[in-house]
């Protein structure tokens, strides 16, 4: 077989991989020799794979970052910690589930080994050696994959998760291993799966994407994640072809995977190529592929032809008519597929951008937390089912408890307070009490306390009462202002607004944790004097 005719060979193909049959008395037929240099897997990677991974992890990080921003902005740090802990727990549960499934396979399938299926084990050893695949992979053979997996799956299924690799193969896929061509076809088929496995799960960046996907949020970004999955399939096909080392055998293995062993010999390659071009021209099919983690079979065929054409041009030219690559449109498509540039540094850049997005979302959420800018988030969240801020029906006994709680906030100089819950105090208030100064010149004339069903309704009420005071003002200077208050400059308890309503200076403050709002006013005081009272005597209910 002629070697590759390219300027910078990806890897040379050694035709001595297959030794001649040692004789009719040999019990298992031709011997596959595994003493060959391992393939340079990185140079066989599909050129779009690095960039597609970068797109996948950045899109997953942006979607996850949005959820992180919302939680941080609403002050739900505990939920963030619980989610991180849940991801760690999910890793353990998935790993344990696969271990249990693998143990169950020992009772329902045949584990390939030198003692059970030596011919198959020999092929597995060849593939592992050529791909430098040193990790353990258990191969099980069953009559139908549907016996151990969901019905309708492919005849070869592989599962990998953090060091646990399991492959289930239907017996009919193995073929007649006494026939050298079918043995080599099996090399191609297994190398396709193991190659894709190595591309997808053994890169240092893969666990980061897996962790993001376990949050469930990247489901909204699957259109950007699935292209990377499809690229790893293309990489597996490339690796399988070089591992097999024979164009005709590789093509027969492709046909066999598409239409089955019994029909593969009758498949016309030129007709398949024409169908592949027709599929590429159909927008509906291209759109349908966006929703799949695996590419269309016809697309895999064209991608493999494009790689064969570059990798071993003489062998491809000899079979150009056979594979249906004489048409001008086919040539243009194959050239276009082969000319796509690789972006080897894209994964590192994508990971950096993903980390920046996640950290930025967390910092941004914490910085904007408890401010008026997060009110729309809180308002939407309060409408969601099972939300901590979702209003719940209030019984008479609960309303009475709320009234008593509000009365307990009032300073002694402004007691007693009266229950005004039946009057129109503020939209969404569950309870309202009013307290007076009792003629004391050191207390404002009026002090109201409101209890609300959520932080969102409390914040909406304080903004409705205060109107639109400027955020650049300063309550301490007696200026209308919209601010926040808390035990320190770096710790926020809730919103604070100073304003003048129809000539009456007023100051309102709320708590994001107790959903309580207080309003103090006195028509004879200045806003500065009212602010001084609030600073030294106002009750806190955080």
Please spell the DSSP secondary structure of 192-211, one letter per residue: HHHHHHHHHHSSTTHHHHHH
**Helix 49-73, helix 77-108: angle, nearest 10:** 130
User: What is the layout of strands, in order, in the sheet containing 164-170?
Assistant: 110-111, 138-142, 164-170, 156-161
Q: Within a domain: residue 236?
A: yes
Q: What is the mean pLDDT of residues 415-435?
A: 78
Does residue 517 share a domain with residue 456? Answer: yes
Evaluate if residue 67 carries a pLDDT over 70: yes
Q: Within a domain: residue 307?
A: yes
CB 456 within 8 A of CB 517: no
Evaluate if residue 377 carries a pLDDT over 60: no
Of 31-35, 195-199, 351-355, 534-538, minimum mean pLDDT range: 31-35
Name the residue range of residue 440's domain: 399-537
Q: What per-residue confidence (pLDDT) applies to 24?
A: 38
Q: Within a domain: residue 215?
A: yes
Does residue 179 share a domain with residue 73? Answer: yes
- Count how many domains the chain has: 2
Q: Within a domain: residue 317?
A: yes
Evaluate if residue 388 carries a pLDDT over 50: no
DSSP assigned state of 491: B
Does residue 56 share a domain with residue 189? Answer: yes
Does residue 328 share a domain with residue 233? Answer: yes
Evaluate if residue 378 carries a pLDDT over 80: no
Does residue 121 share a domain with residue 249? Answer: yes
Question: Is the bond into 416 cis (omega within 30 degrees of 0)?
Answer: yes
Q: What is the mean pLDDT of residues 345-362?
A: 89
Does residue 199 share a domain with residue 91? Answer: yes
Q: What is the pLDDT of residues 339-349, one digit of tens each?
A: 888 888 888 89
Q: What is the mean pLDDT of residues 243-255?
A: 80
The residue written with tokens 């060849």 in the block is 126
Q: Tell me the two tokens of residue 332.
A: 């243009």
> How far apart are alpha carbons 289 and 46 in whole angstroms?
18
The model's pTM: 0.60
Residue that is last in its domain, among 318, 336, 353 = 353
Evaluate if residue 2 carries a pLDDT over 60: no
Please list, in sequence order, all residues whose beta carbon lies within 8 angstroms of the beta carbon of residue 18, skipping any fewer than 6 positions away: 30, 32, 33, 180, 184, 245
Would you mind telling me the total number of residues written for the chain in this entry?
542
Q: What per-residue confidence (pLDDT) applies to 519?
A: 92
Evaluate if residue 211 carries a pLDDT over 60: yes
Q: What is the mean pLDDT of residues 263-275?
A: 81
Does residue 218 share a domain with residue 85? Answer: yes
Does residue 107 share a domain with residue 174? Answer: yes
Helix ranges (H only) for 145-221 are 171-174, 180-201, 206-214
The two beta strands, 164-170 and 138-142, are parallel
Q: Within a domain: residue 1?
A: no
Evaluate if residue 26 carries a pLDDT over 60: no
Q: What per-residue confidence (pLDDT) applies to 334?
A: 86
Which SS3 state, helix, strand or coil, does residue 396 take? Answer: helix
Higher pLDDT, 447 or 266: 447
Q: What per-residue confidence (pLDDT) applies to 163?
A: 59
Residue that is last in its domain, among 318, 333, 353 = 353
Residue 259: φ, ψ to 5°: -120, -5
Q: Within a domain: residue 381?
A: no
Does residue 348 share a domain with residue 404? Answer: no
Q: Within a domain: residue 368?
A: no
Q: What is the mean pLDDT of residues 224-237?
A: 85
> How far apart are alpha carbons 306 and 296 in whole angstroms?
16
Q: What per-residue confidence (pLDDT) applies to 18?
A: 31
Closest CA to 42 of 233, 193, 235: 235
Rounded to the nearest integer, the mean pLDDT of the chain is 77
What's the pLDDT band for 520 if we cut at 50, 70, 90? very high
Q: What per-residue confidence (pLDDT) applies to 356?
A: 92
Q: Within a domain: residue 382?
A: no
Q: What per-residue confidence (pLDDT) applies to 291?
A: 76
Does residue 403 share a domain with residue 300? Answer: no
Does residue 189 share a domain with residue 58? Answer: yes
Evaluate if residue 477 carries a pLDDT over 90: no
Q: What per-residue confidence (pLDDT) applies to 200?
A: 66
The residue written with tokens 């005071």 in the block is 469
Q: What is the pLDDT of residues 136-190, one digit of tens each?
A: 788 888 888 777 776 666 777 777 666 567 888 888 778 777 788 888 888 888 8
Does residue 412 share a domain with residue 322? Answer: no
Please spell the DSSP secondary structure of 251-313, one letter per residue: HHHHHHHHH-HHHHTT--HHHHHHHHHHHHH-HHHHHHHTT-SS--HHHHHHHHHHHHHHHTH
């Amino acid at each position: 077989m002629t070697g590759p005719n390219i300027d910078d060979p990806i890897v040379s193909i050694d035709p001595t991989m297959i030794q001649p049959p040692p004789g009719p008395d040999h019990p298992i037929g031709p011997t596959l020799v595994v003493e060959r240099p391992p393939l340079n897997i990185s140079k066989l990677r599909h050129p779009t794979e690095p960039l597609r991974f970068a797109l996948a992890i950045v899109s997953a990080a942006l979607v996850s970052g949005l959820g992180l921003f919302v939680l941080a902005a609403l002050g739900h740090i505990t939920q963030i910690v619980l989610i991180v802990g849940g991801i760690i727990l999910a890793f353990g549960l998935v790993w344990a589930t696969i271990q249990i499934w693998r143990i169950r396979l020992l009772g329902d399938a045949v584990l390939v080994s030198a003692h059970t299926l030596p011919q198959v084990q020999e092929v597995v050893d060849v593939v592992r050696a050529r791909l430098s695949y040193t990790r353990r992979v258990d191969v099980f053979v069953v009559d139908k994959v549907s016996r151990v997996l969901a019905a309708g799956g492919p005849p070869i299924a592989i599962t990998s998760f953090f060091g646990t690799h399991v492959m289930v193969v239907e017996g009919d896929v193995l073929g007649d291993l006494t026939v050298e061509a079918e043995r080599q076809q099996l090399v191609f088929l297994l190398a396709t799966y193991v190659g894709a496995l190595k591309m997808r799960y053994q890169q240092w960046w893969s666990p980061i994407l897996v962790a993001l996907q376990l949050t469930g949020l990247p489901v909204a970004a699957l259109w950007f994640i699935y292209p990377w999955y499809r690229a790893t399939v293309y990489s597996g096909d490339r690796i399988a072809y070089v591992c097999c080392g024979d164009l005709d055998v590789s093509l027969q293995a492709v046909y066999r995977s598409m239409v089955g062993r019994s029909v593969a010999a009758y498949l016309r390659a030129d007709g398949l190529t024409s169908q592949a071009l027709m599929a590429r021209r159909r927008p509906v099919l291209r759109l349908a592929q966006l929703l799949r983690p695996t590419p269309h079979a016809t697309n895999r065929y064209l991608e493999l032809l494009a790689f064969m054409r570059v990798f071993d041009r003489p062998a491809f030219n000899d079979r150009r008519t056979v594979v249906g690559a004489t048409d001008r449109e086919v040539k243009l498509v194959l050239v276009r597929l082969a000319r796509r540039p690789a972006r080897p540094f894209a994964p590192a850049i994508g990971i950096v951008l993903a980390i920046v997005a996640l950290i930025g979302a967390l910092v941004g959420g914490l910085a904007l937390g408890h401010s008026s800018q997060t009110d729309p988030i809180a308002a939407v969240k309060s409408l969601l089912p099972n939300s901590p801020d979702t209003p719940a029906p209030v019984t008479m006994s609960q309303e009475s408890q709320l009234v008593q709680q509000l009365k307990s906030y009032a300073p002694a100089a402004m007691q007693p307070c009266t229950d005004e819950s039946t009057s129109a105090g503020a939209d969404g208030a569950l309870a309202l009490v009013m307290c007076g100064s009792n003629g004391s010149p050191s207390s404002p004339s009026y002090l109201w306390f409101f209890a609300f069903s959520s932080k969102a309704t409390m914040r909406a009420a304080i903004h409705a009462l205060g109107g639109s005071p400027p955020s650049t003002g300063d309550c301490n200077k007696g200026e209308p202002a919209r601010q926040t208050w808390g035990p320190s400059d770096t710790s926020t308890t809730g919103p604070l607004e100073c304003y003048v309503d129809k000539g009456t200076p007023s100051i309102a403050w709320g708590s994001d944790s107790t959903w309580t709002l207080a309003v103090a006013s006195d028509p004879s005081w200045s806003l500065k004097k009212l602010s001084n009272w609030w600073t030294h005597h106002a009750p806190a209910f955080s």
